[in-house]
Amino acid sequence: MNKKIQIILLAIALLTACDDNRRINREDYESGRRDREVRKVNEAEVTQKAFEMGDEISTAAQQELMATLTKVIEESGVAGAVEFCNLEALPLLESVGQKYNAKIRRVSNRYRNPNDRPDQDEEMLLSAYEYNVDNDIKSEPNIQKIENDQVLLYTKAITIPSQLCLNCHGDPESDIAPDVLAKINQLYPQDKATGHTEGDLRGMWSIRLPKKEVIKNL
Ligand code: HEC
């Protein structure tokens, strides 16, 4: 299949994935109860739980990043905060994911840190979120089963919510101060993460939840 068509199909799937999954889950759950098919009930419950855990982890990580960012900007200015993000963004995400043994990433095709490039599992999903944003379609979080169904990959779009982000991701001429731009260019010579405006897609959350861990939390 042509890649563009694949992306469009996936975008459509993403659009409805959340509601459908939740609806199917309920149907599965009820028919499972009727039929006493324990396995089916569990599969539906596992997906449902993975959505809940993904929502919880991404919200906690977002809050943690925002709180830390605001505090560091107050204490050491925006350029100082660039340095802080360079050193601390990853460890901070790792510590939020640790509670559930989850691997948590923020990925982007317009990445600042080259480590945030999407991998094979993430690439198509990110393209679908990009397609949706380009076409004014609202995206919902998504769950894909990967690695022989042993890992549930939760993804969710990250958009630019406020002016705060533009201090480091906005127009290099008008939004980003010269000392901040110099710091960004020094630490990230291949930076692609500027030129954004409010509401833009900045990337996506990618949270790998081991199935074992999801079941443990049921
Ligand atoms: C003080 C400057 C600064 C501000 C303000 C800022 N960021 Fe960033 N952002 C960075 C830096 C530096 C990185 C690279 C972090 C790393 O090396 O792990 C980054 C990375 C990211 C990434 C990971 C993908 C990539 O490009 O590597 C996302 C997503 C992101 N920022 C979103 C946001 C959002 C949304 C906001 C507003 C809530 C925001 N940022 C505000 C400096 C900033």
Using one digit for the tens of pLDDT, what is the confidence trace for 91-117?
Answer: 999 999 998 899 999 999 999 999 999
Flag whether pLDDT at 37 surpasses 70. Answer: no
Closest protein CA for atom 43 of ligand 1? 168
Long-range interactions of 7-10: CB distance < 8 A, separation 24+: 7/124, 7/127, 7/128, 7/131, 8/131, 10/124, 10/125, 10/127, 10/128
Per residue in 168-187, pLDDT (tens digit) is: 999 999 999 999 999 999 99
Nearest to 158 by CA among 122, 187, 191: 122
For the question of whether the overall pTM of this predicted structure is more than 0.85, the answer is yes
Residues with Cβ within 8 Å of residue 95, at least 6 apart in sequence: none
Closest protein CA for atom 40 of ligand 1? 165
Flag whether pLDDT at 31 surpasses 80. Answer: no
Pocket of ligand 1 (CB under 6 A): 66, 69, 78, 81-82, 85-86, 89-90, 106, 108, 111-113, 116, 158, 160-161, 164-165, 167-169, 193, 202-203
Q: What percent of the chain has pLDDT over 70?
A: 81
Q: What is the rounded average pLDDT for all residues in the chain?
A: 88
